Chains A and B, each alone.
Chain A
Amino acid sequence: MTGWRHDSLGRQIDRSAPLPFTFDGKPLSGFSGDTPASALLASGIRVLGRSFKYHRPRGLWGMGGEEPNAIFDVTENGHTTPNVRATTLLLREGMELRSVNTAPDAARDRMGVLDLFNRFLPGGFYYKTFMAFGWMRWEPMIRRMAGLGRLDPGHCPPADIPPVNGRCDLLVIGAGPAGLAAARAAARNGREVWLIDEAAEPGGSLRWRGGDIDGGNWREFARDTIEAVTAAGGRLLTSTTLWGAFDHGLFAAWERRDGRPDRHWRIRACETVLAAGAIERPLWFANNDLPGIMSAEAALHYLSLHGAIAGRRILLATGNDGSYPIADALAQAGCAVILADARTDPPTAPEGVEHLPAARLTGANGRNSVSGALIGDRAIEADTILVSGGYTPSVHLHCQAGGKLDWNTASDSLVPRPGSSVLRVAGAANGGFGLARALAEGHAAGGGAGPAPRVAVGDWQLTPMRPDPTLRGRQWIDPQNDVTLKDVRLAAQEGYRSVEHLKRYTTLGMATDQGRSANFAGLAAMAALTGRTIPETGTTTYRPPFSPLPLSVIGGPRRGALFNPPKRLPLEAAHKEEGATFREYGGWLRPAAYGHGDETELVQQEALAARKTVGLYDASPLGKIEVIGPGAAELLDYCNYLRISTLRPGRARYGFVLSETGIVHDDGVVLRLAEDRFIVSASSSHAASVRMIMEEARQDIFDPAKSFIHDVTAGFVTLTVTGPKSRDLLRAAELPEILCDDGSLPHMSVIETRWNGHGLRVARVSFTGDRSYELTVPARHASALRDTLETARQKVSGHWIGMEAVMILRAEKGFILVGKDTDGLTMPHDLGWGGPRVKRKDEYLGRRSLFTPEARRKDRRQLVGLETTDGKTLPTGAHLVPVDGKRRSLGFVTSSCFSPVLGRPIALALVEGGRERIGTELGLFHLGETGRVRICGSCAFDPEWERLHA
């Protein structure tokens, strides 16, 4: 218990609003304005979690997205959000925080015993051991031990708002001094600026470091800037993480809104300034992972904003000027401060601070918390160690956008190479540490004219700090994933010298902080161990997201019913009234069956009724692609396997659309309404792609002025009347008499007539093998047609039938569904349609592919029917195998059902050399079960085709 709350400092907290919360079940209290991290720091709680591998105690390190240790499962209102960073969340009343990767809690973790075995768990241990001895056996145990928070399966966080698209002249990422200066300069030039920051208020490091700009307090400067931005039509987005830079200037941002669902932004910017600042590096010494060792910058952050102070007797170890104001602030707050600077000629120390020049921190003492330190061999009494190993510029977004990095000695860091990405980088993100440089670079990046905002303070000086392989004791490089200097050495010895290999071998930088504080150390250590420079050693790739964000934010409302919404029928309500159950078929929500009760029975009754009297179904999803113009026939000849130009007006022809590889892409009927006008009835799920196949030919091969293609599927409703009494139904409906005259409207013909004051198109095509009429009207007249047919249906004892019954009727006839009874290898001659392949001499889509050696093989899979020998319905997908000899798949069952009209099961299958096998038997193999089937023709019902005309 060393952390404490100062009684006056902390300008972000409201001491009149205490907030009770719990941590690992223990009741605690913070203030409004606290984060869980600051409240726990002030409460004196040090052990906040356990490391991933050794379950070592872990304490607070940082103040933002770089935090590797303080990660909690957060429960509010009974719902738990896993793996939330305690540093980036605002504390709310009643929050229950639970440490992750611990049992039973962070302070008393049972798995801590693993740490005793650390010498047996070097880098690569899991790969070597468990891959060698059967990963499958070990995986469940390792999975239980590994991982961080626990998912609450019942909790689906609200994110029901769509992403917001925005555009701006200038996007400024980061509202610290550099970002503010850039935004102000651009806004004053009248540009629309969007200024984005992760924190709840602008200011960046000014918020805790303070400072005067242009002779006034920085807050005036910030206020001024925001006013200028707003006046020029721009906006400030706070609590917003810009998490990804994508192609062509697209950026994605995640906005957190108190009490309302998070919001996702997609921002297109003409220009972008990256002013994301820098992240403090740790130092490397023995036991540098002990709770109580913190980033010095973070300590100042908590002191200034929350009045939360890490300890009473503080050792601050550094090598740069940035730590001096921190030592000063801590001393003024009442702490005993020892400032250990690695430099031999450091600047003057602040008053009241014990100063140790040329002092290198070599070790920390303590078991679960810091109890002392070693400077060289000298023991130092301290309850807290603050460290600053320099700063790493936040170049992530520059690199995500394809930018390159260069080594910069002055800032001891990799900095963006100018012009290598579309982002202009300013301030600490560019290696420009210190307020004066941040403001100057920001001002220039924002296109500012005249002098940059002025400040009184000068630039920072620093000396490089590196891991020292000669030191004794364990030096931690990645505290969350437990990677030590020794592991890096092992990787180097075993040849994993590339940083990408090092990362994968040791898991360095693969923790949820994505290597914010670890990557540089790993890189520097590998460079030191292999005698190379840091640029020679290389860097890892930066990928989105910059910080972890909930997937529900990216997904927004596109989930559940809206994930991939099906198309809806105009007559859906009428079908529901009729008792229809709806299901998705080819992207459309359609009636599966009508009425209540056992669906299998309902479907059998419907299929039988359609064979006995008449069935009525909604065929509106059937594709209706209109092709018109003097070049339409020529275009359709090219796009279809069967010639279309020989079709007479008023007639219909069944055929296929092939892909250029000769594979059956779709089947359907083409109606010729006039010399220059056709309707292509593509199947419902292929209408869009068939249209594009025809468009490509139209624009690429033919004169595009001679034909036009319109997909008018959604504009019309089609109701199909099928069955021996279908003509009686048409008569009962008092539809135009010409429709009932087989001379005027024979099978495979089409009539356009008028009915009820609008157009009515009737096609005699059949998907059931029975006399059928497809009646099509403009969608707005759907109800009139439906009501008329409904009245007539009752007179002839007809039935509404759903898609399940239609599937039976078509299977009885051996009519295929492309994609179900065909696969990615099926050609038209496999389906018994070899005629055009042999006879057509003109060019058509896919033609050459029908004559390759593959297309000529004798053992191609062909469509056949199957009869069962035991009366059982076959499982779809079951494999057909030889009766004797070695078992191998000769094909598979594509459709299978019980035919009520035949009183037996029927099935369709694709079988090697299937047509030659008709009359013979084959074995059946399905999920370990075997059986027998007889091969037959694909048409099981009415093979003489008499019913079409009955």
Chain B
Amino acid sequence: MQVFTCPFCGPRDETEFHFAAEAGKKRPIPAEAVTDDEWADYLYMNSAPRGAAREVWLHVTCGEFFLMMRNTVTREVAEITPLRGRTG
């Protein structure tokens, strides 16, 4: 069982967290200007990397969304930063 560190609450068991999205995906807008393919890519195409990953996770217990850099093979968590004040 992995331990993730919520920027708001501190280290907690992984059962308290949900994966939210791969980071860096920009929601394409406005709807009128977005093609079907672009929208489908946004909704369904994930890179699911083997190794280093950059993801948005949710600490369900407190409701905080945050950025997590982790390795999907070694399960090592490299860095956790709050969403607010982020650059991209």
Contact = CB atoms under 8 A, between A and B. Distances in A.
Interface of A: 246-248, 250, 266, 268, 402, 660-661, 691-692, 695-696, 699-701, 704, 709, 843, 847-849, 851-853
Nearest to B73: A402
A701 B25 CA distance: 12
A868 to B, nearest CB: 40
Contact of B43 (A266, A660, A701): A660
A853 B83 CA distance: 34
B65 A695 contact: yes
A223 to B, nearest CB: 35
Contacts of B1: 246-248, 250, 266
B84 A699 contact: yes
B60 to A, nearest CB: 7
A626 B25 CA distance: 29
Contact of B20 (A402, A691, A696, A848): A696
A702 to B, nearest CB: 11
A551 to B, nearest CB: 18
Interface in B1-22: 1-3, 14, 18, 20
Contacts of A843: 29-31
Contacts of A851: 31
B79 to A, nearest CB: 16
Task: Please provide the 9 A-B residue pairs with the shortest distance between their CB atoms, ordered closest to farther.
Answer: A848-B31, A250-B1, A247-B2, A699-B65, A248-B2, A248-B3, A695-B63, A847-B31, A848-B39
Nearest to B33: A848
Given A692-B60, A700-B65, A852 B2 contact: no
A848 B43 CA distance: 11
Given A250-B1, A852-B36, A709 B29 contact: no
Contacts of A704: 84
Nearest to B64: A699
Contacts of B14: 247
Nearest to A402: B74
B58 interface: yes
B39 A709 contact: no
Nearest to A249: B3
A704 B82 CA distance: 12
B66 to A, nearest CB: 9
B34 interface: yes
A661 B39 CA distance: 10
24 contacts: A246-B1, A247-B2, A248-B1, A248-B3, A250-B1, A660-B43, A661-B43, A691-B63, A692-B58, A695-B58, A695-B65, A696-B58, A699-B65, A700-B65, A704-B84, A709-B63, A843-B31, A848-B28, A848-B31, A848-B34, A849-B39, A851-B31, A852-B39, A853-B36
A699 B20 CA distance: 12
B55 to A, nearest CB: 13
Interface in B29-88: 29-31, 34, 36, 39-40, 43, 56, 58, 60, 63-65, 74-75, 83-84
Contacts of A660: 43
Contacts of B43: 660-661, 849
B75 A247 contact: yes
A266 B18 CA distance: 21
Contacts of A849: 39, 43
B63 to A, nearest CB: 5
Contacts of A250: 1
Nearest to A704: B84
A692 B29 CA distance: 22
Nearest to B38: A848
Contacts of B60: 692
B36 A700 contact: no
A843 B31 CA distance: 7
Contact of A699 (B2, B31, B40, B83): B83
Contacts of A268: 3
A247 B29 CA distance: 39
Contacts of A696: 20, 58, 65
Contacts of A661: 43
B77 to A, nearest CB: 8
A246 B18 CA distance: 19
